[in-house]
A and B are shown apart, each in its own frame.
Chain A
Amino acid sequence: MPSADVLRWHRTPLVAAGILLGAGLGGFVDGIVLHQILQWHNMLSGQLPPDTLVRAKVNMYWDGLFHAAVWVLTACGLAMLWAATGRADVPHSGRTLVGGLLLGWGLFNVVEGVIDHELLGLHHVYEYTPNHLPADLGFLAFGLALLLAGGALVRAGRA
């Protein structure tokens, strides 16, 4: 490792790679757990309730497009991680990477939660209730907790 006076550490490439990887994997958690296993919602279930086979399959298509997009996000994060680890000025810090991963997952929940659930109403976290707010807020709160934990780990990685 180069000494600090010779080379200044740059953590942002590692944090950025962690964020994209974490956001992609967080997207897969959402898609696999909430869409497919628990079947709480689908991508357009707020506008097109999956109450017939045809509507369920149309929602399945948009779920697939979402999964393809988070796959691209994950692949970009992996490419960034590869590029970052090849740089001498980027520290090999597990805490920074895990912090970035948690930041990414938290950012996914907050960005997706605000845009899709609250602003656009494409779907809500739990569709099978007249009051969508508690589950939506729980999803956002979990995202904020991940952001706090990730931020703390990234800060700890500086030490």
Chain B
Amino acid sequence: MQKLFLTLLAGLWAAGAGACPWCRPRVRAGIYTPAYATNALLVLLPVAVLLALGITLFYWDKLRPYFSTADAKR
């Protein structure tokens, strides 16, 4: 118990885990490339499709007349 307490106490003064300072600029360079917008578009595309589908279905009762050619002809 005493060893555990001392270990925990020593942890208070221990240096924090390194956050890889040298790789952060490389990571940022890897993210913000000229292809950033394309990558973002591609990653978000399936979610955008599903969101559009859900919103269209939610308002379908109001949108139906705009898609119904039979109603427009009447």
A interface residues with partner B (beta carbon < 8 Å): 10, 12-13, 15-17, 19-20, 23, 27, 43-44, 48, 53-55, 57-58, 61-62, 65-66, 69-70, 72-73, 76-77, 80, 84, 104, 107-108, 111-112, 115-116, 120, 122
Bound state CA distance, A54 and B47, in angstroms?
Answer: 26
Given A69-B47, A111-B49, A112-B46, residue A12 in contact with residue B40 (CB < 8 A): no
Judging by beta carbons under 8 Å apart, are B31 and A73 in contact? no
Q: Which residues of B contact A107 (CB under 8 A)?
A: 50, 53
- The total number of A-B Cβ pairs within 8 Å is 89
Q: Which residues of B contact A77 (CB under 8 A)?
A: 54
Which residue from A58, A76, A111, A122 sits with its C-beta under 8 Å from B31? A58
Could you give, for residues 25-55 of chain B, a 1 whenever the CB lies within 8 Å of some chain A CB and a 0 otherwise? Answer: 0110011000000011011111101110111
Question: What secondary structure prevails in chain A residues at the interface with B?
Answer: helix
Judging by beta carbons under 8 Å apart, are B42 and A54 in contact? no
Judging by beta carbons under 8 Å apart, are A120 and B42 in contact? yes
Q: Which residues of A contact B43 (CB under 8 A)?
A: 43-44, 62, 65-66, 69, 122
